[in-house]
Every structure is written in structure tokens, then in C-alpha cells.
Amino acid sequence: MKFKNKLISSKFQKRYKRFFTDVESKGNTLVSHCANSGSMLGLLEKNNKTWISLADNPDRKLKYTLEIINDQKSNVGVNTHLANRIVEEAIENRAIKEIKNYNEHQREVKFGLHSRFDFELYNKTKKAFLEVKNVTLSRKKGIAEFPDAVTSRGLKHLEELGKAIKKGYESFLIYLVQREDCKEFRIAKDIDPKYYEGFLKAKKNGVKFISYSCKVNEKEIYLNKPIKIIFK
């Protein structure tokens, strides 16, 4: 996924009101939208190098969006709104080997009365759901973790993917690690033990888990390599 416009280099200053960040660029403080509802644990050190984008819509309240933070170990894509675009591009390029047998897809598909999955996948004989989770946390060298805060919504998605299997679907969840310095993935069970329990239950019920790292730079973000998932 290529950025439409050239990103602006800057330095992180602070995050506040959850979705606001101040960055410094060429001596100016620029208020940027932070499209990430997580804690962004480990990323918010003052003066970390950042890249922001300028909004196309001149009427938007915040003119800039925070796209990338360098945590002094790796560039990290922090705009969760881009995760589905990155995955969709990978689907179209048949880059996710675990789902290559599905040759068609549709975005944002309803399931039941109150749920919606990121993608429905299908071929002539089978259907599947694919849910995407954006991952930025890495507390130990080479290991990515999710979640970085308690996520009741994420737990619900695990439960719903299990229900979809009972209705004849295959169910997949991809942990999209928007950084390239990780070779393994695990659940941060100390941060959200209920999510970890739900993760193990979903695995037992047949949900298939996938994790890939990404190449992240100021020009583009794209799927890189599969990452080993540690289930213990």
C-alpha cells in the first residue's frame, strides 16, 4: 500500500484526548489525528521520529494524520485504518499463503444481528471470514504482542469467529504486525488475560490464526513475512 502523498518527517511530542498527538516539524507544532484506539505502549517516547500525512479534505478539523513512529528499534505503522487496506492488497496479490485457495473477497460483511467481519472470502465450494487485528507492541526483542490494552471488542470477534465455524464457514484471524523487527507473535496475556483465554478457546474451536510482519517506510507499507505464533 503506497501512501498517496509524500509523508512529512517530524518528532513525537505528546498524545492526549486519545486521538490527538502533537508532533514537531521544522520548529512548528502540528496537531495530528491518531487513528489508533490502543495504548500504543512502548511507542510514545518524546522525540521519537514520526511521519504524518496531510489530509486531502481541506475541511477536516485535523489537517494531519499520524502514520508511522520509529521506536528506535523499527518503523511502526500506527494508523489502524490502513490495516485492512494492507491486507486487502495482500489478498489480491495472493500473498497470504493460508488463504490462497479463496479467489474472491468482500469487505465489511455482516454476520448475525450485531457482528461484522473485515472480509468474507469465497470460492466455488467454500466460504470463510477473515478478521484483521493491527499489532504494534513489541516489549521483547523479536517478539510482537497483542493486545496493548484490554479489548472486549477483540474478545467478541474471537467468539463470533467460533460461531461462524458452526454455520459452515472457515474462520481466520490475521495479526498484522506493522513492523519488520519481529519473528514471533504471542498474546500479551498479562495485559488482557480474558482475551488470552478467548484466544485459546477459539483455537480449540477451529479458528485459524495467522501473523505476518510488514515492511514500513515513508513511501509504503506492505506485507512482508509470516511470523510464528506462540500459543503457550
| Same-domain pairing of 154 and 190 | yes
| Same-domain pairing of 158 and 67 | no
CA dihedral 172, 80, 211, 86 (to 10 degrees): 90
- In order, the DSSP letters of 186-201 are EE-TTT-HHHHHHHHH
DSSP-based helix, strand, coil % in the chain, nearest 5: 20, 45, 40
Question: Residues 105-129: what's their mean pLDDT?
Answer: 93
| Same-domain pairing of 13 and 105 | no
**What residues are paired with 29 via a beta bridge?**
24
Q: Is the dihedral of CA 134, 136, 138, 143 positive or negative?
A: positive
pLDDT tens digits along 44-70: 999 999 999 999 888 888 999 999 999
Residue 124 belongs to domain spanning = 80-230
pLDDT tens digits along 85-99: 999 999 999 999 999
**Distance between CA atoms of residues 202 and 188, nearest Å:** 16
| Same-domain pairing of 31 and 115 | no
pLDDT at residue 38 in the model: 93
| Same-domain pairing of 125 and 214 | yes
| Same-domain pairing of 215 and 105 | yes
Core vs surface per residue 54-83: b (16+ CB within 10 A) or e = bbeeeeeeeebbbbbbbbeebbbbbbbebb
* Final residue belonging to a domain, choices 72, 97, 113: 72
* Final residue belonging to a domain, choices 20, 45, 72: 72
| Same-domain pairing of 143 and 50 | no
Residue 114 scores a pLDDT above 90: no
| Same-domain pairing of 166 and 127 | yes
Q: Has residue 3 been placed in a domain?
A: no
List the CATH number of the domain containing 223: 3.40.1350.60
Q: Has residue 138 been placed in a domain?
A: yes
**pTM assigned to the model:** 0.95
| Same-domain pairing of 204 and 99 | yes
In which region does residue 13 sit, left (phi positive, over 0), alpha (psi from -120 to 50) or beta (all else)? alpha
| Same-domain pairing of 105 and 56 | no
| Same-domain pairing of 137 and 171 | yes
List the CATH number of the domain containing 47: 2.40.50.580
Closest of 144, 139, 141, 212 to residue 184, by C-alpha:
144
| Same-domain pairing of 110 and 191 | yes
Q: Which three cell numbers stand for residue 118?
A: 473485515
Across the chain, mean pLDDT equals 96
* Final residue belonging to a domain, choices 54, 72, 90: 72
The domain total for the chain is: 2
Q: Has residue 2 been placed in a domain?
A: no
